[in-house]
Structure 1
Amino acid sequence: MNRTWRAVTVDDAEAIADLLEAAEAVEPTNEHYSAEDIRDELTVPNVRLADGSVSVWDGPRLVGYAMAVPREAANPEHRMRVELAVHPEYRDVELGKQLLEWQERTAQALHAKTFPNARLELHARVYESQQWYASVLQAAGFAMARSFATMRAELEKLPPRPELPPSLRLVGYEPAYEDPTREAVNDAFSGHWGMTPYSPELWRHRMIDGPAFRPRTSFLLLTEDGEVGSFVLSAFYQAEMEVTGVREVLIAYVGTRSALRGHGVATALLAHTLVAARDQGYERAALEVDESNAHNALDIYRRCGFEVTQRVHAWVRPMP
């Protein structure tokens, strides 16, 4: 069987989107990506296509790909993100094994170039519906380490909205708040599992310059000295709506600086954002939360009208 193996390029975005949609038809994750979404992911600053990706082609057809993406920091271990997808018609054991072997070799080589003195772990993201992927990872020595809940709220059925704290000033997101918002996100998520601080470059690409970011549906609460104390940052994926027919806003980031926690600040700002999203024509909201979150985030989101609709798991393999 003659298959061509080569590095992924940005020009492969449409082929990757088609492959993921074919996989979605067999093992639904409720995630849908356009070629533009994929291009945005492939151009993230820490993604290294030349030496950190591979694609497998059967003639003109993309049948599988894999990536290994170094983190910006080791904290203290280097938790390298890996991903792998194979077209459902080509899911034989051998191809999955070959891609994982490539992934292992590549991850170790990239690790040696980035954080050679840290311990290396490979981290894969797997939806509960992705049984084939989970079985391939388990056979390669990965184990499920963490679970994250996707929660959704119908915006026509929101509970009563709590008042915003009078000591903080509400503003809509504007470019002038880019760095203060990044600093607040880094502070709010410091110590969270898998979190490393965002650099200005990565933050700008991952959020602010991303095609899905919706500043009109993103809000901040400022302290008296102008610091961002709490934030809700939103995104919208057109490809998702084209498939589902539902206009869904994604709450990409919601949080409060550590010094302001325990006063219902994030709950009030999230509730305000949901009402604004409803008024802007969104029908539903979604977010993702670590089910082991130490700040009772699941209960906070339930008070805002969210319920768990599916789960995604972190599968981890410590490397020798």
Structure 2
Amino acid sequence: MPLTDRAAAPDRLDLPELTGVTWRPLERADAPALYTLVAAAEDADAQPFRTSLPELEEAYDAPGQDPATDTIAAVDDDGRIVAYGGVAARPGDESVVRVFLHGGVAPDRRGRGLGRAVVAWMTGRARQVLAASDHDLPGRILTYLEDGGPAAERRLYERAGFATRRYYAMLRRDLAEPIPVVDLPAGLRLQPWTPDLDEAVRLAHNDAFRDHWGSEPQSPEVWAHGRTLFAPQWSSVVVDPAPDPALADGLDAETRAHVEAGGALVAGYQLADRAEQDWAVQGYTSGYTETLGVRRAYRGRHIAPALLAAGMRAFAADGMQYAVLDVDTENPTGAYGLYSSLGYAKTVGSRMLSIEV
């Protein structure tokens, strides 16, 4: 059955009807008010992170989202935003068409049906987005929740048909402990990330995560988005300046064309974020490894530990107390074991919930 039919999308998606609030799409000018709501919710729920205002402003321009049709806000009689929701697809998905949900309710307005209304609207809109896709692929409507978050929020999604599909762990590593020195094989070069290498890093990422559950290739548009917290001074890559010609057959067409045009071949990368807004709630300063990847043809050559060690040294040199990252607990590359061997230990967990279409 085509995704258009499987999506079971509503022909018409009416705004919720609840007394005391007016519903409308979010607008760019709403960012400060939305930040106030999000900050209050994260405080009330004792989330292990905080969302910054620049992140919310950047989210307005998320690829695959039209705020006019893909967002919703509940505004009370005083003009205050008391609930919100949004859906976003990811251009470039090749094996599963995904629609991501994000929303929340002001702590003092919970228990009045706002959360249920937002989840119902987001799910209906996500089904419409799937139905409009021109790909005849499986579909997935998904959201992420912290394990330590409100149980009522998880029950809300479960009652709407969502089920937990994947678990994640946040790990940290004390930078006061000795940082290992990891030697790379001859011919490979570890160097700082630079803008001219970013396209080569994107291509390496798409190859590295091709065998990861739930991961899809990132288009240039998606790859360039979400850089508000990016810390280039903490990020590094491993380049193969003279790749073995035998590797050419194993490279995807896009990478092959890039290299033949004179572009670098990135074998692995570690991209870091500086999330200063998290430090107060964490109780320590940290550098966050947002993405770590190694091309499949280069695995087993100590590239990942070398990149992690380089990241730790960069964090420590900047006065950070811990190195932090998140990992899929069922990562097929054995990443969890690698992190443990380098001294990382779990602090908190999260999960992905989805409706599979």
TM-score normalized with structure 1 length: 0.93
Larger radius of gyration: 2
The residue aligned with 2:62 is: 44
Return the offset for 1:186. Answer: 0.7
Structure 1 residue 37: Cα displacement? 1.6
Tell me which of 20, 27, 33 is aligned to 2:38: 20
Please give the alpha-carbon distance, in whole angstroms, between the structure 2 residues aligned to 1:303 and 1:124: 30
Shift in Å at residue 161 of structure 1?
2.8
Which residue in 1 is equivalent to 2:236?
Answer: 219
Partner residue in 2 for 1:142 = 162
Q: Secondary structure at the match of 1:180?
A: helix
The CA deviation string for residues 269-320 of structure 1, in whole angstroms up to 9 with x for no partner, is: 211220121012222121111101111101111122211111110001134x
CA distance in 1, matches of 2:330, 2:99: 21
Alpha-carbon contact 1:74-1:115 (below 8 Å) kept: no
Q: Indicate conservation of the 8 Å contact 1:235/1:252, yes or no.
A: yes
Distance 2:36 2:93 in 1: 34
Q: How does 1:38-77 map to 2 (within 5 A)?
A: 38-58=56-76, 59-77=78-96
- Give CA deviations for 1:33-59 in whole Å, capped at 9, x if unaligned: 221121112212222211111011112
SS of the residue corresponding to residue 114 of structure 1 reads coil
Q: Which moved more, 1:228-237 or 1:34-43?
A: 34-43
Flag as ranges the 4+ runs of structure 1 deviating above 4 A: 242-245
Structure 1 residue 76 displacement after superposition:
2.7
C-alpha contact 2:169 2:327 (8 A) present in aligned 1: yes
TM-superposed deviation, 1:245: 5.8
Aligned counterpart for 1:282 among listed residues 317, 320, 328: 320
Whole-Å Cα distance in 2 between the matches of residues 165 and 288 of structure 1? 27
Measure the CA separation in 2 of the matches of 1:297 and 1:168: 21
- Find out whether 1:201 has 2:239 as its counterpart: no
8 Å CA contact retained: 1:248, 1:286: yes
Q: Does structure 2 retain, via aligned residues, the 8 Å contact 1:14–1:34?
A: no
Question: Which residue is 1:316 aligned to?
Answer: 354
Residue 188 of structure 2 aligns with which residue?
168
Q: Deviations over 1:79-128 (max 9, x none)?
A: 21112211121112522221122112211222222346333321110100
Matched, 1:108 2:127: yes
Secondary structure, aligned partner of 2:148: coil
Instruction: Measure the CA separation in 2 of the matches of 1:113 and 1:199.
Output: 19
Taking structure 2 as the reference length, the TM-score comes to: 0.84
Equivalence for 1:255: 293
Deviations 1:196-235 (A, max 9, x none): 11111221123xxx22111111111110334101111111
* Structure 1 range deviating more: 100-109 or 157-166: 157-166
Whole-angstrom distance in 2 between the partners of 1:35 and 1:65: 15
Q: Distance in 2 between matches of 1:16 and 1:219?
A: 34
Counterpart of 2:308? Answer: 270
Q: Secondary structure at the match of 1:13?
A: helix
Alignment correspondent of 1:241: 279
AA in 1 matched with 2:118: L
Ranges in structure 1 where 5+ consecutive residues have no aligned partner: none
* Residues matched between the structures, number: 316
Match 1:303 to one of 341, 347, 353: 341
Q: Provide the alpha-carbon RMSD of the alignment.
A: 1.8
Distance 1:161 1:97 in 2: 51
Aligned to 2:85, what secondary structure does the other structure show? strand
